[in-house]
Structure 1
């Protein structure tokens, strides 16, 4: 029997044994690529856990911050609640109803009433601090410088004499508004003249024009009341000569009077035909008779302190008519005014006993 053939099964057996050994070795030591996959899969839960912790910390921080804000707001609300009025005022209720404008007007009306009382408009409240007897306003215009110089050289004092008259309690001023073209040569000329003579009352809010003459009365009495505290305020046209001593005599005899409306009282027909002299655009308001109410002639109008105060307080709502004398008369109609008709104040004639006369 050949020995070489006997070794073959042994080699075959060795080969089988070694193959089995290698297989067992392979099972106990897996390949490197498989180990890397297992390692990566084990890290994922750790990353997720870390991110969850961060999210939890963020949420916890926000909750803590919101809690602090709520605590602060709660403290502020509690503090402010302690300062709130327990009972709603009338103003609060008006605000809740959306009536702020009504409330504002009510307050303004109450302030006007208080002012009227304090300044002697109501009966029995004549101010005891009145120092001057009268403020006399002489109407004038931009083109009337020559006429003003004539007055300064005749019945109207100038310079030191004007100051002495003021010491007696009588102030005299030329009354004029501003040019429609503010700051032009007309305004500059008046300012220059006033700088030299110091005898103007310039109505800054009034536009000097013929059609604005009725409104000038409102501005004059208002400005005079605000500038001087006097018993009487006198409006005089620029074509009138005055007997100052005679006027002072009349006014002094009426000192302390309440609600005095003094002048040369008249009436007259209302002209309704447009284009005619003395045409009144509001003619239909005077009834079928077309007659004006009783009023002081426009050449010279005298109002006591409280009536002038009334014009000042209510200036914005006072109706004006075509002429200043009828306008002032209409304002007096609704008041408890005492009408004083003095023939010495009728300036149409130049009799000796007259206080005024046409220049």
Structure 2
């Protein structure tokens, strides 16, 4: 009977009777696979939790953040807006104070610290090489020493006007300083460089410095190639006393010189129109400005345009204000009339 059992059945019974065998490498691989799966799942869960936390923090900060501020709002918060307003107000007050006669205390050693008011300040242009001319003037029409002080007591200041050398402190400057210590009749323009081509800037510097140093009704610019009838000039100014916005001189105009190399050449001739004619202006030999016009030059000196010549420069400045033009033939120094107050030297 035993022999009648099929072979296949016997083999199946032997297979079932044997224990199941698994290799060690397979177990190790399965273990690491399970560990890796757990690690990845943990990281994904942690990242999701971090994202949720960050999202909540962002929402909270957004809710607590102040509203968007404009630039104007920020200026108000920082106080800058108020500071800007105060600066503008201070600038307006300063300009108003200067226009009403307030002058910064920049009085020179020859000025008046007592607040004395003068009739006129007369500035005589001079240069480093004009020592002999100055000596002649002091011996003729210009007072010196005690006579100069007595003239100031009458309300008239006279000074030679000069700038500084291009080489500051050289022998030219030292000679002028030495002469001034002896005569005390100079107005030295510390911020101006003395040179022929700088004359338009010199007239601006003279009026600015003079109006800051002396409180006078008139400021007179005089070239060093003329002689003055000093008493006649004082009489003329006395007659014009208290006349505001007075621009006084020997008025003229004339053709603008366009050819370079010729006397009185104007490099910016094209600005004077097709007719190439100068506007009405006082001759440069002697011109007079009232106090408010001189102060106007002082306040606006940084922006006033200068041309090639000082008299046309002053004339251009006067065109922009309400100046009263006074054409006085007595100030035409080249004239042969007998009643003039100046003559060519």
After TM superposition, the score normalised by the length of structure 2 is 0.71
Structure 1 distance, partners of 2:198, 2:80, is: 43
| CA deviation after TM superposition for structure 1 residue 234, in Å | 0.1
For residues 33-52 of structure 1, the aligned pairs below 5 Å read none
Structure 2 distance, partners of 1:145, 1:264, is: 28
Asked if residue 313 in structure 1 is aligned to residue 299 in structure 2, the reply is yes
C-alpha distance after superposition, 1:275-316 (max 9, x if no partner): 222111111111111100000000001000000000011111
1:349 touches 1:358 (CA, 8 Å); kept in 2? no
Asked if residue 229 in structure 1 is aligned to residue 195 in structure 2, the reply is no
2:249 touches 2:328 (CA, 8 Å); kept in 1? yes
2:226 touches 2:285 (CA, 8 Å); kept in 1? yes
2:246 touches 2:290 (CA, 8 Å); kept in 1? yes
1:264 touches 1:296 (CA, 8 Å); kept in 2? yes
| CA deviation after TM superposition for structure 1 residue 344, in Å | 0.3
Question: Based on CA coordinates, which of the two structures has the bigger radius of gyration?
Answer: 1
What is residue 333 of structure 1 aligned with on the other side?
Answer: 319
Asked if residue 119 in structure 1 is aligned to residue 105 in structure 2, the reply is no
For residues 10-159 of structure 1, the aligned pairs below 5 Å read 88=76, 92-93=80-81, 106=88, 109-119=91-101, 131-159=117-145
Unaligned runs of 5+ in 2: 1-74, 104-114
Question: Closer, same or farther in 2 for the Cα pair 1:324/1:178, shift >3 Å?
Answer: same
2:248 touches 2:327 (CA, 8 Å); kept in 1? yes
Structure 1 distance, partners of 2:201, 2:294, is: 14
What is residue 288 of structure 1 aligned with on the other side?
Answer: 274
Structure 2 distance, partners of 1:120, 1:215, is: 24
C-alpha distance after superposition, 1:235-261 (max 9, x if no partner): 000011000110011100111111000
Pick from 196, 200, 203: which aligns with 1:217?
A: 203
Query: Secondary structure at 2:265's aligned position in 1?
Result: coil
| CA deviation after TM superposition for structure 1 residue 112, in Å | 4.5
| CA deviation after TM superposition for structure 1 residue 120, in Å | 8.5
Question: Closer, same or farther in 2 for the Cα pair 1:296/1:182, shift >3 Å?
Answer: same
Asked if residue 251 in structure 1 is aligned to residue 237 in structure 2, the reply is yes
| CA deviation after TM superposition for structure 1 residue 88, in Å | 4.3
| CA deviation after TM superposition for structure 1 residue 94, in Å | 7.8
Structure 2 distance, partners of 1:290, 1:119, is: 38
What is residue 32 of structure 1 aligned with on the other side?
Answer: none
Unaligned runs of 5+ in 1: 1-86, 122-128
| CA deviation after TM superposition for structure 1 residue 115, in Å | 2.6
1:178 touches 1:187 (CA, 8 Å); kept in 2? yes
What is residue 273 of structure 1 aligned with on the other side?
Answer: 259
Question: Closer, same or farther in 2 for the Cα pair 1:290/1:90, shift >3 Å?
Answer: farther
Aligned residues: 260
After TM superposition, the score normalised by the length of structure 1 is 0.69
Asked if residue 303 in structure 1 is aligned to residue 275 in structure 2, the reply is no
CA RMSD of aligned residues (A): 2.3
Question: Closer, same or farther in 2 for the Cα pair 1:108/1:206, shift >3 Å?
Answer: farther
